[in-house]
Amino acid sequence: MLKLDEIQMRLLKEVADLHEIPEGAYNIRSNSQAAGRKSTANIEIIPKTEVSGIDIRIKTGTKNESVHIPVVMTQSGLKEMVYNDFYIGEDSDVVIVAGCGIDNCGGDDSEHDGIHRFFLEKNAKVRYVEKHYGSGNGKGKRILNPQTEVYMAEGSTMEMEMVQIKGVDDTDRKTIAELDANAKLVVRERLMTHGSQRALCTYDIRLNGEGSSADVVSRSVAKEDSYQRFDAKIVGNTACYGHTECDSIIMDRGKILAVPGLEANHVDAALVHEAAIGKIAGDQIIKLMTLGLTEQEAEEQIINGFLK
């Protein structure tokens, strides 16, 4: 494993909760280079040859194992495109921790674009955690454009935790999913923007199998002059259930656009969308200020609780 400096280790802690080399399988990427890689008896990590990226193959029946695949970037002006494919065997139950941290102290933009494709076999279960984080005092932007594709066989389950709450100047996040019979997708997204940051989040989910379901919930905060767009589309092609929810706090001069999209192509497709955008209630701030907090501290307390 390549030696990582203090900044790179801090980024790993932020995006993957890693203080040291993780147990189990892992692939750590630093400034477009492999910083460390380890396979296990049940999880094999294979580098691609024609493009930058890896294949992760998880054997049938693998239980209670994890794989970490974080990315850190500290080189200003670096731009990369990575392709990672995950093949999750039948009846497996695993945790996958991804994420990218960019520290940019230079004048050029740094950008990480990645395509993650998940292929879940019958009754496979995955918990996927993806955290994005930016830091550095340079004028160059920190840009992250992730695309996630999920293909779910009968009876499979995918739980996704998508977090971006600090330092990313520009992001265009796309998630598509196709579900077979009795497959279940759960997404929990947490997002905060400030300054002149921009965040676009697009979901296109297709419920193709009878009894399939999707539950997508986004909580976000837009501060200062930042802009957010939440565009969620669920297509019900059979007897299924789909739910999307956008719950947002707007502050200062921020702007938020919520775009619901429901398409029912079957009489028993039950699809629901909810959206709420508003400012922090004044009585909430006053109540916390009576306990000794300043107005700014009260706002931070409310936001932190909202984004948990």
Looking at the predicted structure, is the pLDDT value of residue 181 above 70?
yes
Question: How far, in Å, CA of 267 to CA of 250, rounded?
Answer: 37
- Give CA angle at 75 (74, 77), nearest 5°: 130
pLDDT confidence of residue 2: 57
Instruction: Give the list of residues 6+ apart from residue 308 with CB closer than 8 angstroms, or none.
Output: none
How many Cβ atoms from other residues are within 10 Å of residue 139's Cβ?
A: 12
Q: Within a 10 A sphere around the Cβ of 223, how many other Cβ atoms?
A: 18
Distances (CA, A) of 287 to 24, 282, 298, 303: 47, 9, 9, 15
pLDDT tens-digit map of 117-135: 999 999 999 999 999 999 9
What gap in Å lies between CA 169 and CA 151, rounded to an integer?
30
The per-residue pLDDT for 285 is: 87
pLDDT digits over 269-296, tens only?
999 999 999 999 888 888 888 888 898 8
Report the percent of the chain where pLDDT is more than 70.
Answer: 99
What pLDDT is stored for residue 62 in this prediction? 98
8-13 mean pLDDT: 88
- What is the reported pLDDT for 26? 94
Q: What is the pLDDT of residues 38-83, one digit of tens each?
A: 999 999 999 999 999 999 999 999 999 999 999 999 999 999 999 9
CA distances 80 to 34, 108, 113, 189, 266, Å, are 13, 14, 6, 24, 42
